[in-house]
Amino acid sequence: MRVGCPKEIKNHEYRVGLTPESAHELVSQGNEVWIESGAGLGIDATDQQYMAAGAKIVDGPDPIFAECEMVVKVKEPQADERKKLREGQILYTYLHLAPDPEQTRDLVDSGVTAIAYETVTGPRGQLPLLKPMSQVAGRMSVQAGAAALEKAHGGRGVLLGGVPGVMPGKVVVIGGGVVGFNAAQMAVGLGANVTILDRDPEVLEKVGTHFEARASTRFSNAANLLDAVSGADLVIGAVLIPGAAAPKLVTRTMLKRMQKGAVLVDVAIDQGGCFETSKPTTHDQPTYVVDDVVHYCVANMPGAVARTSTYALNNVTLPHALSIARLGWKEALKADPHLAEGLNVHAGQVSYRAVAEELGYEYRTAADILG
């Protein structure tokens, strides 16, 4: 198969879909790999390194979209890229379609076969292609929140770890999954006062056992959530419903009860955000203020640590890319029901239930499409 990897064009997105090592793996199995010139510079991977791995370097994205059978990316295709997609082509990347009707419409209209990293499952129902970026984003959320709390950045002027004789900052993590767990690890490591909220008793038991006295757990309901965020210095939104839009858990009314200069970091912004007042921001302008509360809602947080993120991502995406290239998308999905969960759009049809229900499309199962 001819596999192409264009340069990412989203604001301050420095990751790349294929590392030179991944390109070499694909080439060694008889595939042809095209890399857009400069695509790897954000992770310090030069065109020469890709060529040494056996890849072909092409100028600009157009040859890749026009001639490659599979396009491997990191972020969802931007509007200019979506115009280049074509019927019968495979798109393998993060998509996050539920809160993005324009992207969904363009993918449906293009006829492309779109396989989303974030909905591919594992043997125990986990999301293995989403997990490494969730780990990165969870850890980064505390870094970003700590910086936003500085007075010069509009925050309360609170040091999360405190100092002897001064209380540490209060961090509230909403959601005890991969993002929340990693955020809590970082916040606990800084010495903050940490509370984790979740609705799953097993998750609360797991994080409670892990952190012991270093973090508190609370069942997530409206009353407990309001009580927790009202006194928080930093709130991390770490809620995920696979493939679906995130629920708006922190309302505008709750926001009015928060402390002036407190910070919200919405890691769920890729799926629409879990705060009512959230809207996507960029690394250029990462924050804005509503009701005296600082909002950090960067939709591609891991892009800021591109080298770590790219290698972590390729570790989990490459095996499926090799399978698709070897067998073709249909046979690869037939052979692996977990990969089949990644099929979101095919030939003008939406094949992921949560996306279809959220955006009003007729739902066609992957099993129907695969025959």
CA distance 287 to 280: 9
220 marked as binding residue: yes
292 included as an active-site residue? no
Cβ atoms within 10 Å of 315's Cβ, excluding its own: 15
CA distance 278 to 280: 7
301 marked as binding residue: yes
CA distance 268 to 298: 10
Q: ∠ at Cα 96 (90, 100), nearest 5°?
A: 105
Q: Which of 106, 233, 266, 270 is catalytic?
A: 270
96 included as an active-site residue? yes
Token pair recorded at residue 250: 């922190």
Q: Which of 24, 96, 295, 320 is catalytic?
A: 96
267 marked as binding residue: yes
268 marked as binding residue: yes
299 marked as binding residue: yes
270 marked as binding residue: yes
CA distance 241 to 352: 13
CA distance 329 to 241: 26
Cβ atoms within 10 Å of 303's Cβ, excluding its own: 24
56 marked as binding residue: no
55 marked as binding residue: no
269 marked as binding residue: yes
- Nearest CA to 54 among 24, 30, 19, 26? 24
Question: What 3-state class would DSSP assign to 20?
Answer: helix
- Residues that constitute the known binding site for substrate: 15, 75
- Residues that constitute the known binding site for NAD(+): 134, 198, 220, 239-240, 267-270, 298-301
List, by residue number, the catalytic residues: 96, 270
- Residues that constitute the known binding site: 15, 75, 134, 198, 220, 239-240, 267-270, 298-301
